[in-house]
Amino acid sequence: MKRKTGRILKDNKGQVGIGTLIIFIAMILVAAVAAGVLLRTSGTLQTKATATGEQATKEVSTQAKVIGVAGYGSAAGNLNATVLTVRLAPGSSAISWSDILLSYQSGNNYV
């Protein structure tokens, strides 16, 4: 094969630049796809974190406060019934009383 000397032929001017341009465009496309995946993932994580935070705040801020306790017993000294007077603590959101489970402790006794 003969070695070309002198000026570059007009037909061969852009051959080196086209290969570089194709690689550059491919790199941009890969970066765009990766950025899209990262944005979608971060959006999903943000939504889950917001929901978890709201649920945790609701659970922490919803409290029932016992304001009175009365016990009814028999002549033998057995406790037949316990009545707890309960209300929501200030700032608590509404709760369903049918779904609540209350426990009462007095010393080593649990009710």
pLDDT in tens, 3-39: 656 565 555 555 667 888 899 999 999 999 999 999 9
Q: Residues, the chain, total?
A: 111
Residues 6+ apart with CB under 8 A from 11: none
pLDDT over threshold 80, residue 54: yes
What is the rounded average pLDDT of the residues 80-101?
80
pLDDT over threshold 80, residue 83: yes
pLDDT in tens, 93-108: 787 778 777 776 778 8
Assess if residue 5 is contained within a domain: no
How many domains does one find in the chain? 2
pLDDT of residue 80: 84
Assess if residue 4 is contained within a domain: no
Residue 21, both tokens: 């341009």
What distance in Å separates the CA atoms of residue 58 and residue 94, rounded to the nearest whole number? 10
Please give the residue range of the domain that contains residue 82: 62-110
Assess if residue 76 is contained within a domain: yes
